[in-house]
Amino acid sequence: MRKANLDDFFAQARSQPPEVSFDLQSRILSDAFLMQDQWARRAAPINSSNLWFDVAKHFFAELGGAMSISSVLAAGLSGMWIGFAPPAALANVFPAFLTTQQSDIFDLLPSDNEFQ
């Protein structure tokens, strides 16, 4: 296909613009107005007295709801309890992990002094 043939097709398309029927236009506009009304109802103004409650409610819902929040809260409280008042059985275990002895220091990268 040559450029001249394409120009003929474009000229013919410009001479006969497509026309949309009145029924199609009315259906499209009625659907658009219906959607605008639905969006307007969803975007109702926020009551400022319940703003913090709504923010907290949506935040906790995004985290997974009451079950996940209660699980995280229980784990945090038990961790604080064990940290502040450890059971007697753990009193002998912790010093093994908290040693104050200095371990050997290894030089993994040789220094430049060895090559001089």
Residue pLDDT, tens place only, 76-90: 999 998 888 777 766
Q: What confidence tier does 51 reach under pLDDT thresholds 50, 70, 90?
A: confident
pTM exceeds 0.75 for this model? no
Q: Are residues 28 and 54 both part of a single domain?
A: no
* Residue 30 forms part of a structural domain: yes
Segments forming the whole domain that contains residue 35: 1-41
Percent of the chain whose predicted confidence (pLDDT) is above 70:
67
Half-sphere exposure of 61 (CA within 13 A, CB side): 6
Instruction: Please list, in sequence order, all residues whose beta carbon lies within 8 angstroms of the beta carbon of residue 54, skipping any fewer than 6 positions away.
Output: 46
Tell me: do 54 and 81 sit in the same domain. Answer: yes
Mean pLDDT (the chain, rounded):
79
Number of folded domains in the chain? Answer: 2
Mean pLDDT across the stretch 21-26?
A: 93
pLDDT at 52 over 90: no
